[in-house]
Structure 1
Amino acid sequence: MNEYFKSNKFKHILHKYEELCKENGSSFLDSEELADIAEYYHLTGKEEEARAAATYAVNVFPGATAPLCFLARTALFVDKDPVKAELLAEEIIDKTDLDYYYLIAEIMMMQNRHEEANKYLSEHFDEIAADEQQDYIFDVASLFCDYGLVELAQKWLSQYEDTEAKDYKELKAKILLWTGKSNESEDVLNELIDSNPYSTTYWNELAECHFVRGEYNESITASEYALAINPEDEDALLNKANASYSIGNGDEAINYYKRFQKVTVGARQNFVNITIADIYLNQKKVEEAFKYFTKAIENSEAKEETYIQMAISLMGNGYMSDAYKLFSANLQRVSEDWNIGYAYYARCCYELGLMDEYNRILGIAIKKNLVETKDLLADLYPEDSKPEQYPLLTPTPRKGKANDNTLPF
């Protein structure tokens, strides 16, 4: 969570707002403070309170940028309603505010209008005051990086002049990692660590750098440095859990996932329940697995997506029939932009001998996610063939029927 939300300053602001809600206070809070409160509630999983705080701010300060940006992003990311997000954005009075520009670009990006977003932000560059242009360049580069659009992020960052700035190096390290240049990213991170060895952020990013290269023990070591600085650092706990899971140390992974859950809140607290359940299932601890699968589903705001993650776990542990039922029931219910699980579903069909359904789902998987399709199905086809060619080829005949394992729940 943002360190600001842990500060005494914010705690004082939050207390004033809570007293205001109880009609015990008459303190004045400005629109940005109320937007911060909404963001805090959102991060702690209190969506109703978050919307209430932002709506109150808009009622008191009609057209204020910060709370309207919050409500628009809630419409965009939580409600999956870009039209509603656009309508809220249009209520913002100051349409020269940089946050307004960023919001409009985000709405475009969530609709996969990436080049249009880039063009929009480029067209507004000359309207930015000269002393704010470098900040604008950096913010736009960061925004594109957040959305995984690293080529656009690099294009903008290349215009940033202060290449010795800490923020520049931090973003450069992320972009290098995203573009597969993990060795160069590591060099930048080591340089940053040398300048500030007590930064958990740098150690955590180094852990991630090692993780993507499959250097799981080195990732654990970097995470342990971060945990030595702050034993409750969320990212360090999660990084160590993920690396432990990847080397097959299930008990250690569960320990750190549970420690992570104790210090985090909201959606971050819930998403690891599937992984914990997966480990228990792999250890044949079915009752414990069921407990965490149930937690994941009950606390999920997108149950279909959670069922799909559960199906992937079941499939990986040999429960093909159960996985098939979850895939077939839930992949038809997710949003149009959802792209995870289709190749897993196809593989399930193959293993169960449902070849007509396999061929149908294969076409969808190719359209949705080429990387996942190759990862899950490449071994069924000639070595040099591309996923787009799979429908024209005959998959390798199955060597045996999938087992009939089913769970007792």
Structure 2
Amino acid sequence: WCACSAVYHASWTVRQYPQHWYMRPDMVGADSDPGRPVQTGTISFFAGLLLYSFLIPISLYVSMELVKLFQSRILIANDRDMYHAETDTPALARTSNLNEELGMVNTILSDKTGTLTRNVMEFFKCSIAGVAYGAGITEIEKANALRKGVVLDERERPEATKCRERFFNFYDDRLMGDAWYSAHDPATVEMFFRLLAVCHTVIPDGPPEPATIKYEAESPDEAALVVAAKAFGFFFFKRTNTTVTVRERTARGEADVEYEVLNILEFNSTRKRMSVVIKDKATDKILIFTKGADTVIYERLDPGYGPNEAMKESTTRHMEEFGSAGLRTLCLSYAEVDPEWYNREWLPEWVAAKTSLDKRDEKVMDVSEKIERNLRLLGCTAIEDKLQE
């Protein structure tokens, strides 16, 4: 258009301009000199660029939108590489404004949970009192072996466990059923299972029967731990504002035990742990159950408790083995709290911190530190997060 306009203007200036007296042909400028058609055409060409610049983007915008619409509705929706055959689901472009950005992507950074994995947590292995329990090979180990061309032997583990259910994929003859009664250090094993059943914020839903009850948890990790406790004979089935009730099956028999929940010290990314302070109504003992990252638990272990050091060494070794297999680990510990100190000193500070209007979170964390100490290590759990297919 600019070239056509330039040629036409130069031609018209040479032939017609001198005939129009009202245009003052005797006072011509550089853009209308009949004697210089090339100069006139050149100036007209660039003038056309300025004038037509307001028209070209409008048509270009419409054309680009039509192209983007075609890309999203036809090309992307029919791309076989983005088609999921199992669910018969093609790719769905919800907007056509990101096509260019999508084509510029050359690196994808993803986290572990929910991207590389399905966010389906299953209790897979554990370490209690320095002894590792659980047989089997994780999906990450299988994928790694397949990539390296290594054949793994899975004969040590049956096809299905006796208590296989959602969130629970554990098998070990030393703990399954009532076998843990005669396991190494059964008292520690019992406390380990009790912590799994009590130290959480899970809400039970449905009839209080192991086969029908459902758990509503803030995270699938917590649900997996509660389901594991149920499979081992510590069935959490009732929660009120101040109590939790667990049906415990031990060597002494089966009984419904109610624990009074005195305080819940919630988990956050800074604390890296969660604690529950409970009172056993049968014995009037006050206990604190704490679970969290190994680094924060180890710092708060009781240095005067003999078994802690040996158990810490073996638990650390087991956690490294579990971690190399792609399992998510969590340390478990507990301590007995002096009732007099709790009621006279710690509880008033806790209430003051919780009701403070200034720097409440910092004060709560400071008070929590005073009770989360002199812990006794129980062991660790290892949860598998299934890989995406």
Q: TM-score, normalised by structure 1?
A: 0.21
Question: Which protein is richer in helix relative to its size?
Answer: 1
Larger radius of gyration: 2
Question: Which protein is richer in strand relative to its size?
Answer: 2
Question: Taking CA–CA contacts closer than 8 Å with sequence separation of 6 or more, which of the two structures ends up with the larger relative contact order?
Answer: 2
Q: TM-score, normalised by structure 2?
A: 0.22
